[in-house]
Structure 1
Amino acid sequence: MKRAIALLIILISFSSCQEQQKIGFIDRTKAINEYQAKKDIEDKYKPKNDAYIKRRDSLVKQFEFDYQNAAVRAQSMSPKKQQELAQEFQQRDALLRQQIQFEKEALEKEFTTEIDSAMSKFKTFVKNYGKSNGYTFILGTSDISNSVMYGAETTDITDTVIKALNEDYKK
């Protein structure tokens, strides 16, 4: 009996000597939306996107105007000339669609490249933050995927990380 008690005391003392694991979680949606780098990228691309939309709309309106004028002129043309005019507008339409699609994809690619870079920096920052602040785990939750079903408010480090992240970004 004394051996069992001694063994129990030894086990309790070993388990009490183990380090407590420090675990926190971040609301990724909130953290990313409040990340100043992301906001700056969005602010940078808003005028570019607005200019693209304005240009696209202008090109489409001009095409529609030309098409309507051609349709009026076509009424007095021979069937052969009408067919040639129709083919011309089909080609113009195809080229216009290609041009618009090309400009849209170029803008999206440029934006996505910068956002991906910011998200990579975000992940690296959180990893380094966890290491330097003694965290064993930093879990993430968001509107899309919840790896944290419940977390005590004391383990929610979202606001702390956002503040540190934005301070690091200002540097």
Structure 2
Amino acid sequence: MRKSLLLFGFALALLSCNKEQAAGGKEFKTAYVDTYKLLEESEEMKDFTNKAKVKEGELSRELQQKAKELQLDAASFESEARVKGMQWAQLKQQELQKRQRDLGIMQETFREEFDKEFGVKRDTIVSQMRKFIKDYGKKNGYDYIYGTGEAATVLYAREGYDITKKLIKELNEKYKAQASKEEPAKKEEKN
């Protein structure tokens, strides 16, 4: 409920921003992009997602086959252990445990390789989309382009509206001032 109200308030603020005028009488041109929908409906992202699902399916089938073989061997282990004796059973049990560990390592390796390969590609696609939005904003004269979705963000803004450097400077000055005040207090505590 609170999220809905917050989102509604944000949307209302965006609409009102589009009609407000800046100092000097210039009207701001703003818009927003539903980033979730953009990713979901992008052909490049759809193709990428399909390729990732196919690759994940291949890896999953391979792992499932090896796990099934291990289960069958483990099931036959009990009946064979009675016939072949305790020493054989201990050796076979060690072998089965090693195969189980190897299977776990293989699964983890597959997951890491998959995440590495497809995570980098996904990040690249998202980065290219952000660049596209930025270029689109410049080309079409937007002052701001906001993003909706998981987190509301500004996807593009004219450089003159960026106050990041000012904030960093003030935060650093504040931090240095606090650190210099705390330093004499620490020295007094030690004495």
Tell whether the structures are fold-level matches, with TM greater than 0.5: yes
The structural deviation recorded for 1:50 is 1.3
The percent identity for this pair of structures is 27
The runs of 5 or more residues in structure 1 that have no matched partner are: 1-14, 149-171
Quick one: structure 1 residues 16 and 98, their matched pair in 2 at CA, closer, same or farther if it must change by over 3 Å? closer
CA distance in 1 between counterparts of 2:101 and 2:92 reads 14
* Corresponding residue for residue 136 of structure 1: 143
Query: Per-residue CA shift, 1:76-127, capped at 9, x if unaligned?
Result: 2333332222111111110111112211221222111111100000000001
**Greater relative contact order, per chain length (Cα 8 Å cut-off, separation 6+):** 1
- TM-score scaled to structure 1, two decimals? 0.71
**Which string of whole-angstrom CA distances, capped at 9 and with x for unpartnered residues, describes residues 106-151 of structure 1?**
1222111111100000000001111111001001111x22459xxx
Distance in structure 2 (CA, Å) of the matches to 1:70 and 1:16: 82
Across the two proteins, how many residue pairs are aligned to each other? 133
Q: Distance in 2 between matches of 1:94 and 1:49?
A: 21
Aligned to 1:49: 56
Relative to 1, partners in 2 of residues 1:50 and 1:75: Cα closer, same or farther, differing over 3 Å?
same
Deviation string 1:142-165 (CA, Å, 9 cap, x unpaired) is: 1x22459xxxxxxxxxxxxxxxxx
Give the root-mean-square deviation of aligned CA atoms: 1.9
1:1-171 aligned at under 5 Å gives the runs 18-142=25-149, 144-146=150-152
Query: Following the alignment from structure 1 to structure 2, what is the Cα–Cα distance between the partners of residues 96 and 44?
Result: 24
2:119 and 2:76 mapped to 1: Cα distance? 40
CA deviations on 1:52-78 (whole Å, 9 max, x unpaired) are 111111111011111111221112233
Matches of 1:69 and 1:60 in 2, distance apart? 14
> TM-score, normalised to structure 2's length?
0.64
Partners of 1:115 and 1:17 lie apart in 2 by 42
Name the SS of the counterpart of 1:145 in structure 2: coil
SS of the aligned residue for 2:121 comes to: helix
Structure 2, unpaired ranges of 5+:
1-21, 155-191
Letter in 2 for 1:141: T
Amino acid in the other structure paired with 1:117:
T
